[in-house]
Structure 1
Amino acid sequence: MDFYLTALVQGLCYGSLALGIYISMKIFNIPDITTDGSYTLGGAVTAVMLTNNQPTYLILPVVIGVGAVAGALTGLIHTKLKVNALLAGILVMTALYSLNLTIMGRSNLPLSNLPSLFTLVDISTDTNLNTFWIVLAFIAIVTLFIGYLLKTDFGIAMRATGNSESMIRALGVNTDKMKIIGLALANALTALSGYLITQWQGFADISMGIGVVISGLGSVIIAETLIRSLSITSVWLNLLLVLGGAIVFQMVLAFTLSTGVNPLYLKAVTSTFVLLIVGLPRLFRREV
């Protein structure tokens, strides 16, 4: 039971990452690879500040800020320098690798016996359950904020930028500004995921972000499959399904490990699972 509870907690921690990828890839149609770097950036800043005895409530806005700056930099390179969005993300991600290593000072930074977000409040005597309730409350607040933002006039303009950039530009909206803000928001959410995962697992590692975009993308694709099949238009339901996709994705990986698959093959299993999610619906549509 604890094994799957751990997977549930991890899925919720990745929920913020999934929301970030949902904003960049599904709202703005931008394949943002900055994710790998901004996720590690959030973890690196969290670890360094914790080891310097900074309170977790002070670390939170700093992590949001550095993640937003990373995303905004990608947006600026893409919109102002007219560099392909994918290449812009790769350039920033590569630069962030060196930055993260500089911030941490070494490749791995343990957080043994240091206070964290999960030790601030004792909701349950069971450590795992206590972590679960805290993460659930944290992600609920984040989701409510994103849902509210997307329902405002500014959020509608963001969504319109992704749906029809030429139309919304004709209405006087600065689409470049919208893209920069959107990517900043997406990477701030991604950095938040690194903030949560680092405190949950008890260390930050320079390679923790490698391939993490696949996990987030898999979560979004699971949600998108349901959104399309059920013709869901509600912003709130879309966000909840993205969170559900993150949980399902981690549960599938947990089940795979429980069957005895060597953890060395976990990345291969992850990529294969995402390929199946993407490919099978298309094959079935062709047959029909």
Structure 2
Amino acid sequence: MDFYLTALLQGLCFSGIALGIYISMKIFNIPDITTDGSYTLGGVVSAILLTRHIPGYLILPAVLFAGGLAGAITGLIHTKLKINPLLAGILVMTALYSVNLTLMGRSNLPLIGTSSIFTLIQIATNINQNTFWILLLFVGAITLLIGYLLKTDFGIAMRATGNSESMIRALGVNTDRMKIIGLALANALTAVSGYLITQFQGFADISMGIGIVIVGLGSVIIAETLIGWLHITSVWMILLLVLAGAIIFQLVLALTLYIGVDANLLKLVTAVFVLLIVSLPRLNHIKD
């Protein structure tokens, strides 16, 4: 049971990545690879500030700012220099590797003897249950904020930018600014996942973000499949399904390890699982 509870907790930690990928890829139609770097950046900033015993209420804003800045730089490169968004994300991600390594000063930074968000708040006596409730409240608060934002006039303009850029530009909306803000928001959410997972696992590592975009992408694709099957149109339900996608993704990986698949093959299993999810709607379409 603890095995699956750990997978559930990891799924909640990765909810920020799922929401970030949803914003960049599904709202703005931008394949943003900055995710790999901004996720690690969030973990690195968290670890550095925690080891220096900076108050917790200052760490989260710093993580949000760092991730948002990374996303904004990608947005600026794409919109102002007219560079393909995929290439812009790769350039920023590559640069962030050196930035993260320079900030840490080494490849791995353990959080020995430091407090965390999971130890500062005591909701339940069991450690895993306490972590679960803290993550649930934390992720719930973020989801409510994102849901509220997407329902405002500004959020509707963001969604319209991805759906019909020429139309919303004709209405006087600065689409370049919308893209920059959207990518900044997406990467700020991704950095929050780095913030959570670093405290959850007790260390930050320079390689923790390698291939992490597939986790967010897989979560969003699971959500998209469920949305299509259930014909969901509500923003709130879509966000909840994105969170569910992140949890389902981790539970599938946990089940894979539980049945005895070699841990060295986990990345391969992840890639195949995402491929199956992507292919399923298309296979149904061909059958019809």
TM-score range, shorter chain: over 0.9
Q: Deviations over 1:258-281 (max 9, x none)?
A: 011111111111111000000122
Q: Which residue of 2 aligns with 1:98?
A: 98
Q: Which residue of 1 aligns with 2:119?
A: 119
Q: Which residue of 1 aligns with 2:266?
A: 266
Q: Which residue of 2 aligns with 1:251?
A: 251
Supply the AA of the counterpart residue of 2:165: E
Q: Which residue of 2 aligns with 1:187?
A: 187
Shift of 1:27: 0.2
Supply the AA of the counterpart residue of 1:258: Y
Q: Deviations over 1:225-260 (max 9, x none)?
A: 111222211000000000000000000000000011
SS in 1 for 2:266: helix
Identity of aligned residues (%): 75
- Larger mean CA deviation between 210-219 and 275-284 belongs to 275-284
Q: Deviations over 1:101-159 (max 9, x none)?
A: 00111000011231000011111110010001001100000000000000000000000
Shift of 1:58: 1.1
Q: Which residue of 1 aligns with 2:64?
A: 64
Supply the AA of the counterpart residue of 2:270: T
SS in 1 for 2:115: coil
Q: Which residue of 2 aligns with 1:217?
A: 217
Q: Report the aligned-residue RMSD.
A: 0.6
Q: Which residue of 2 aligns with 1:198?
A: 198
> CA separation in 2, counterparts of 1:205 and 1:265?
21
Shift of 1:284: 2.1
Q: Deviations over 1:50-92 (max 9, x none)?
A: 1111122210000000000000000000000000000000000
TM-score, normalising length: structure 2: 0.99
Q: Which residue of 2 aligns with 1:162?
A: 162
SS in 1 for 2:129: helix
Q: Which residue of 1 aligns with 2:31?
A: 31
Q: Which residue of 2 aligns with 1:284?
A: 284
> CA separation in 2, counterparts of 1:274 and 1:133?
29
TM-score, normalising length: structure 1: 0.99
For structure 2, the 5+ residue unaligned runs are none
> CA separation in 2, counterparts of 1:174 and 1:187?
20
Q: Deviations over 1:140-189 (max 9, x none)?
A: 00000000000000000000000000000000000000000000000000
Supply the AA of the counterpart residue of 1:152: T
Q: Give yes or no for the alignment of 1:89 onto 2:97.
A: no
Supply the AA of the counterpart residue of 2:273: F
SS in 1 for 2:114: coil
Q: Which residue of 2 aligns with 1:235?
A: 235
Supply the AA of the counterpart residue of 2:257: L
Shift of 1:212: 0.5
Q: Which residue of 1 aligns with 2:5?
A: 5
Q: Which residue of 1 aligns with 2:141?
A: 141
SS in 2 for 1:109: strand
> CA separation in 2, counterparts of 1:39 and 1:104?
14
> CA separation in 1, counterparts of 2:228 and 2:257?
30
> CA separation in 2, counterparts of 1:230 and 1:255?
25
Supply the AA of the counterpart residue of 1:111: L
Aligned residues: 288
Q: Runs of 4+ in structure 1 displaced over 4 angstroms?
A: none
Q: Which residue of 2 aligns with 1:21?
A: 21
For structure 1, the 5+ residue unaligned runs are none
